Chain A
Amino acid sequence: VTAGPFRLAVGGAIDRTRTLAFTFDGCSYTGHPGDTLASALLANGVRVVGRSFKYHRPRGVFTAGPEEPNALVRVGQGARAEPNTRATMVELYDGLVAAGQNSWPSLDFDLWALNDLFAPLFPAGFYYKTFMAPARAWPAYERIIRRAAGIGTHVPHPDPDRYERRFAHCDVLVVGGGAAGIMAASAAARAGADVMLVDERDALGGHLRGERAGAEILLPYISALAGMANVRLLPRTTAFGVYDHGTVALAERVADHLVPAAPTLPRQRLWMVRAREIVVAAGAIERPLVFAGNDRPGIMLASAARTYINRFAVAPGRRAVIFTNNSEAHRTALDLTAAGIEVAAVVDARAGDAVIATKGRALRAVAVASIDDDGQPAGAARWIDCDLLAVSGGLTPSTHLHSHTGGKLTWDDAIASFVPAVGAANSHVCGAARGVFALGDCIADGARAGDAAAQALGLKTSVLDLPACPPDEPWSIRPLWEVESARNIRGKRFVDLQDDVTADDLALAVRENYRSIEHVKRYTTLGMGTDQGKTANLNGLAIVAARRAEAIAAVGTTTFRPPYTPVALGALAGPETGKHFEPIRRTPLHDWHAAHGAAFVEAGQWLRPRAYPRPGESFDAAWRREVLAVRGAAGICDVSTLGKIDLQGPDATAFLERVYCNGFASLAAGRCRYGLMLREDGIVLDDGTVTRVGERHYFLTTTTANAGRVLAHLEYLLQTAWPELNVRVASVTDQFGQIALAGPRSREVLARVVDVDIGSAALPFLGSAATTIAGARVRLLRVSYSGELAYEIAVPASRMVAVWEALLEAGREFGLSTYGTEAMAAMRIEKGHVAGAEINGQTTPADLGLARLVSAKKFFVGRRLLERPAMADAARPTLVGLEPVDGVTAIPAGAQLIADVRAKPPVRMLGHVTSATFSPTLGRPIALALLADGKARSGETVVAAAPLDGVAVAARIVHPVFYDPAGERLHG
Chain B
Amino acid sequence: MLVIPCPHCGPRSHDEFTYSGDATLRRPANDAPLAEWIDYVYLRDNPRGPHREYWHHVHGCRAYVTVERDTATHAIVSPDGDAS
A867 vs B31: C-alpha distance in the bound complex, in angstroms?
Answer: 12
- Chain A residues numbered 666-715 whose CB sits less than 8 Å from any CB in chain B: 680-681, 708, 712, 715
Nearest chain-B residue to A720 (Cβ)? B64
Closest Cβ–Cβ distance, residue B42 to chain A (whole Å): 8
User: What number of B residues sit within 8 Å (CB to CB) of A?
Assistant: 27
Give the segment of A242-250, A632-640, A801-809, A839-847 that binds chain B: A242-250
A708 vs B54: C-alpha distance in the bound complex, in angstroms?
Answer: 17
Contact bitstring A851-882, B, C-beta under 8 A = 1, else 0: 00000000100011101100000000000000
User: Are the CB atoms of B58 and A864 closer together than 8 Å?
Assistant: no
A613 vs B11: C-alpha distance in the bound complex, in angstroms?
Answer: 51
**Interface residue B27 (Cβ < 8 Å from any Cβ of A):** yes
Nearest chain-A residue to B25 (Cβ)? A720
User: Are the CB atoms of A859 and B3 closer together than 8 Å?
Assistant: no
Closest Cβ–Cβ distance, residue A858 to chain B (whole Å): 10
User: Are the CB atoms of A720 and B54 closer together than 8 Å?
Assistant: yes
A274 vs B64: C-alpha distance in the bound complex, in angstroms?
Answer: 24
Nearest chain-B residue to A682 (Cβ)? B41
User: Are the CB atoms of B18 and A245 closer together than 8 Å?
Assistant: no
**Interface residue B43 (Cβ < 8 Å from any Cβ of A):** no
Contact bitstring B10-49, A, C-beta under 8 A = 1, else 0: 0001000010100100011010101001101110000000
Given that A712-B56, A719-B64 are contacting pairs, would A245 and B84 also be in contact in the complex, using a CB cutoff of 8 Å?
Answer: yes
**Interface residue A141 (Cβ < 8 Å from any Cβ of B):** no
User: Are the CB atoms of B56 and A245 closer together than 8 Å?
Assistant: no
User: Are the CB atoms of B38 and A865 closer together than 8 Å?
Assistant: yes
**Interface residue B62 (Cβ < 8 Å from any Cβ of A):** yes
Given that A715-B56, A715-B64, A859-B30 are contacting pairs, would A244 and B20 also be in contact in the complex, using a CB cutoff of 8 Å?
Answer: no
**Interface residue A716 (Cβ < 8 Å from any Cβ of B):** yes
User: Are the CB atoms of A867 and B84 closer together than 8 Å?
Assistant: no
User: Are the CB atoms of B62 and A715 closer together than 8 Å?
Assistant: yes
Count class of interface residues, chain A: 20 to 34
User: Are the CB atoms of B1 and A243 closer together than 8 Å?
Assistant: yes
A406 vs B13: C-alpha distance in the bound complex, in angstroms?
Answer: 21
- Chain A residues numbered 261-287 whose CB sits less than 8 Å from any CB in chain B: 272, 274
**Interface residue A721 (Cβ < 8 Å from any Cβ of B):** yes
A406 vs B70: C-alpha distance in the bound complex, in angstroms?
Answer: 14
A243 vs B54: C-alpha distance in the bound complex, in angstroms?
Answer: 22
Chain A residues whose CB sits within 8 angstroms of the CB of B62 once the complex forms: 715
Contact of B27 among A244, A721, A867 (CB under 8 A): A721
Given that A681-B41, A715-B56 are contacting pairs, would A245 and B34 also be in contact in the complex, using a CB cutoff of 8 Å?
Answer: no
Closest Cβ–Cβ distance, residue B40 to chain A (whole Å): 7
Count how many pairs of residues, one from A and one from B, have CB atoms less than 8 Å apart in the complex. 52
Chain A residues whose CB sits within 8 angstroms of the CB of B27 once the complex forms: 720-721
User: Are the CB atoms of A247 and B40 closer together than 8 Å?
Assistant: no
Given that A274-B3, A720-B64 are contacting pairs, would A868 and B74 also be in contact in the complex, using a CB cutoff of 8 Å?
Answer: no
Closest Cβ–Cβ distance, residue B66 to chain A (whole Å): 9
**Interface residue B9 (Cβ < 8 Å from any Cβ of A):** no
Contact bitstring B54-67, A, C-beta under 8 A = 1, else 0: 10101000111000
Chain A residues whose CB sits within 8 angstroms of the CB of B23 once the complex forms: 720
A901 vs B37: C-alpha distance in the bound complex, in angstroms?
Answer: 43
A712 vs B55: C-alpha distance in the bound complex, in angstroms?
Answer: 12
Contact bitstring A568-600, B, C-beta under 8 A = 1, else 0: 000000000000000000000000000000000
Chain A residues whose CB sits within 8 angstroms of the CB of B42 once the complex forms: 681
Chain A residues whose CB sits within 8 angstroms of the CB of B74 once the complex forms: 244-245
Closest Cβ–Cβ distance, residue A499 to chain B (whole Å): 31
Chain B residues whose CB sits within 8 angstroms of the CB of A868 once the complex forms: 34
Nearest chain-B residue to A243 (Cβ)? B1
User: Are the CB atoms of B38 and A245 closer together than 8 Å?
Assistant: no
Closest Cβ–Cβ distance, residue B44 to chain A (whole Å): 13
User: Are the CB atoms of B2 and A865 closer together than 8 Å?
Assistant: no
Chain A residues whose CB sits within 8 angstroms of the CB of B30 once the complex forms: 859, 863-864
A706 vs B5: C-alpha distance in the bound complex, in angstroms?
Answer: 28
Chain A residues whose CB sits within 8 angstroms of the CB of B34 once the complex forms: 864-865, 867-868
User: Are the CB atoms of B64 and A244 closer together than 8 Å?
Assistant: no
User: Are the CB atoms of A244 and B1 closer together than 8 Å?
Assistant: yes
24 contacts between A and B (CB under 8 A): A245-B74, A247-B1, A274-B13, A406-B73, A680-B37, A680-B40, A680-B41, A681-B42, A708-B58, A712-B18, A712-B56, A715-B56, A715-B64, A716-B20, A716-B54, A716-B56, A719-B64, A720-B27, A721-B27, A859-B30, A864-B32, A864-B34, A865-B37, A865-B38
Given A681-B42, A712-B56, list of 19 further CB < 8 A pairs? Answer: A243-B1, A244-B1, A244-B74, A245-B1, A245-B2, A245-B3, A245-B84, A274-B13, A680-B37, A680-B40, A708-B58, A716-B54, A716-B64, A719-B64, A720-B23, A720-B27, A720-B64, A864-B34, A864-B37
| Top 8 closest pairs, chain A to chain B, by CB | A247-B1, A243-B1, A859-B30, A244-B74, A864-B37, A721-B27, A719-B64, A245-B3
